Structure 1
């Protein structure tokens, strides 16, 4: 944070203040909702959660040097100053909106059905070749995580890259009100969150709420190969595999788990070859998206290439792990039909015996069975040796694969523990193993066990 006081926070969220007058003008060192992250000068926001009420930790944060606490409960004899509001989470958002408007740096907002995090990492890797970049950490892309990300922007930062996720109408509108993006980047419109948004047109409409509070001179960039996003071509620059896009790629060469090589064209006369160190053709789209942002912020081609080639994986997201017995594609942080099919394509590019361990995909609504089945049918033209499905919803995937892919041995388990009891009978040393499911399935347990 930079130059934001307790008083400014109070005024932004219309809070009642309890404490000494002189403490109002103390500059905050940060804002935290997790008491474990509190240090001297922090403002602690007490969030009442489903399992734990943050108010119980208020005494602890004063002992750690917190400058102030934000509470929606009146406190008796607190050990330090506090702000009282009706709703601490709403107050946090209002204060983040106010703090954002004190910042004069470019802020890139990234959204889409698939690939937000990997695209965010690519954009940040590229921009870091020239700028001091603040990026969203972990899964802090919702109405609680985004304001905390905004408060992490400090005086040293020259650009912020903010991932923006949603699954209901109105959420992106509220995120945009805080983020105020100067650049909007859309990865694709898939089928994630159909349960709440009804159709891909509904998803597009909800994602476009990002424009509601964007800068007046906002620059937008969209995946022009997406049939829904291409409808924004009159207000956005496009990227894709089609040479009619503003930035496009060709000469794509899959390198298995070692990544993908391609040539990216920045216009009709200029292009560069690069090797993206993470696997999958979707990474080419991420590289093109990052190229668009890099060009918009004045990076050279050499800087953009260096950013692409220095990209590092995140745990659970296309992360290649070389263990004593297996090569793992750890992609278990999240899943939807599009990303799961792409991960299967990556697995198919390897030269080892191939094992796919797939689990349930959430938030697919009434089409859940047919969408799980579509992944099973996708195996028809692949050469995956063993398919392991785990969970109730993935039974539809299992049945579709049995019918569509006779070349693949298909096994189904009710839960992770049941599968782990059988791993010695299923896997062989030297296997290439894909592990992918929605986060709620707890597939990190599988990755840890195989490591």
Structure 2
């Protein structure tokens, strides 16, 4: 057996797992795949290629190419004429992907930590991974691979050397979390908060809680639940399928709940601005001083969540605090980029009212001119205009010197910011905004770039960096 193959992932087992029909040489039925992808450009020898029908491109058209690259087999929603290798005929490639990943998960002894919540999933994932890496070989979600396609692909990236996996689990509608939890079957469920995300489908925060609580549907009987004890909705969760949650709490001026015992608490928070923060973590046995290199007081919550997971996974308090000190940001998530004498806060991966305000809090700590480049926030439901207006108001109150914004809803954001001393520049399109923004910047400026992913504000970061590197 090839050491690089996925154990028990033979073509015969894969076909059985997804209810497909194997078509090809019988001698290959027992062959194990070496990986599985939906992007034909990522195919390597021995891989299973899973073609997805998208709005613009049908992955089936690349089937001949992947066989040339050495793919062991492919899935297909239609019979293939003279294929260059075996294939598995399925009704739906997307459903088959989930079924295959679910089967693969059943063969693994690895502990999986599933993270959900309205805000902070990615930064919490990074923090938990940094802590667990003090003791384990950890696989973690890459990019935005946290939905019904991304989560199964993340599971299929787990290899024999991995000892723990930290996976994001994002949703936008009821039932979706149930479907991805069925694939991941997490050993530890972490919920960061219940906010105002995807309200067009989930209606209100109670709906968000119900939808995200579907993560508990496939929690293992000996599993663990880690919840933010500062969140008024999460503290109402007393148990799920017989598992009692572990809570953490951050001193933020509100009193801890009297009827909850906290595994980890944090206080004495010292904000060091863009250099991160210091705090004291209180464990049942001792107190530990921590330094967190990521800016933003909200990241203390991520540290507490990571500390709870670390304790469940058998790390010492010293290892936990050391891991926290090594946490890093990733592109698009409060990622600090210094270009020349300009500081860019790249936070353009996604946005909602809570994360917008948290990013503005980070910008407010900077020395020099504070420039916010903001765009539309998606999926906020019927109160979306009011929410954009409130963020604009918040930007002005936080002392933002100049606000650049574009997008249909951001016209409300601009209106909210037209108060105090904030200079507001509103544009209908991204291109027009960038033409005005780049030459406007000067040495010593601090620039926050943030909007929902569909606004493509990564182009703004690229344009600024390109201009200032020249």
Counterpart-to-counterpart distance in 1, 2:425 and 2:7: 55
Counterpart-to-counterpart distance in 2, 1:273 and 1:84: 57
Aligned residue in 1 for 2:444: 430
Contact 2:250 2:267 in 1 (8 A): yes
CA 1:83–1:320 in structure 2 vs 1: closer, same or farther (change >3 Å)?
same
- 1:52 alignment partner, one of 41, 52, 57: 57
1:2 deviates by 3.0
Secondary structure (helix, strand or coil) at the match of 1:48 reads: coil
Q: For residues 386-401 of structure 1, what are the structure 2 equivalents within 5 Å?
A: 386-401=402-417
Aligned residue in 2 for 1:239: 248
Counterpart-to-counterpart distance in 2, 1:292 and 1:424: 43
Over residues 69-99 of structure 1, what are the superposed CA-to-partner deviations in whole Å (9 max), with x where a residue is unaligned? Answer: 0110110000000000111111111111111
Aligned residue in 1 for 2:453: 439
Q: For residues 127-142 of structure 1, what are the structure 2 equivalents within 5 Å?
A: 127-142=132-147
1:439 deviates by 0.9
Q: Give yes or no for the alignment of 1:263 onto 2:268.
A: no
Output the TM-score relative to the length of structure 2: 0.93
Q: For residues 394-413 of structure 1, what are the structure 2 equivalents within 5 Å?
A: 394-402=410-418, 405-413=419-427
1:309 deviates by 1.2
- 1:111 alignment partner, one of 102, 111, 116: 116
Aligned residue in 2 for 1:353: 369
Secondary structure (helix, strand or coil) at the match of 1:191 reads: coil
1:238 deviates by 0.9
Contact 1:116 1:163 in 2 (8 A): yes
1:381 deviates by 3.3
1:380 deviates by 4.7
Q: Give yes or no for the alignment of 1:73 onto 2:90.
A: no
Aligned residue in 2 for 1:91: 96
Secondary structure (helix, strand or coil) at the match of 1:39 reads: coil
Counterpart-to-counterpart distance in 2, 1:131 and 1:107: 12
Contact 1:33 1:47 in 2 (8 A): yes
Contact 1:373 1:396 in 2 (8 A): yes
Counterpart-to-counterpart distance in 1, 2:438 and 2:155: 47
Aligned residue in 1 for 2:106: 101
Contact 2:146 2:170 in 1 (8 A): yes
Q: For residues 2-401 of structure 1, what are the structure 2 equivalents within 5 Å?
A: 2-234=7-239, 235-242=244-251, 245-267=262-284, 269-401=285-417
Paired residue total: 448
Secondary structure (helix, strand or coil) at the match of 2:225 reads: strand
1:426 deviates by 3.3
Counterpart-to-counterpart distance in 2, 1:204 and 1:260: 30
Over residues 421-447 of structure 1, what are the superposed CA-to-partner deviations in whole Å (9 max), with x where a residue is unaligned? Answer: 222563221111111001111111111
Contact 1:224 1:233 in 2 (8 A): no
Structure 1: tracts of 5 or more residues without a match? none
Aligned residue in 1 for 2:468: none
Secondary structure (helix, strand or coil) at the match of 2:341 reads: coil
Counterpart-to-counterpart distance in 2, 1:204 and 1:424: 41
Secondary structure (helix, strand or coil) at the match of 1:246 reads: strand
My pick for the range that moved more, 247-256 or 423-432, is 423-432
Counterpart-to-counterpart distance in 2, 1:357 and 1:290: 31
1:294 deviates by 0.3
Counterpart-to-counterpart distance in 2, 1:2 and 1:141: 24
1:280 deviates by 0.5
Aligned residue in 1 for 2:3: none
Secondary structure (helix, strand or coil) at the match of 1:351 reads: coil
Counterpart-to-counterpart distance in 1, 2:250 and 2:196: 21
Over residues 309-341 of structure 1, what are the superposed CA-to-partner deviations in whole Å (9 max), with x where a residue is unaligned? Answer: 111211111100001131010000100000000
My pick for the range that moved more, 71-80 or 231-240, is 231-240
Over residues 177-209 of structure 1, what are the superposed CA-to-partner deviations in whole Å (9 max), with x where a residue is unaligned? Answer: 000011000001110100111000000000000
1:379 deviates by 3.0
Counterpart-to-counterpart distance in 1, 2:93 and 2:321: 43
Aligned residue in 2 for 1:449: 463
Q: Give yes or no for the alignment of 1:420 onto 2:437.
A: no
Structure 2: tracts of 5 or more residues without a match? 1-5, 466-470
CA 1:59–1:424 in structure 2 vs 1: closer, same or farther (change >3 Å)?
closer
1:221 deviates by 0.5
Output the TM-score relative to the length of structure 1: 0.97
1:233 deviates by 4.3
1:7 deviates by 1.1
My pick for the range that moved more, 213-222 or 169-178, is 213-222
Give the 4+ runs in structure 1 shifted more than 6 A: none
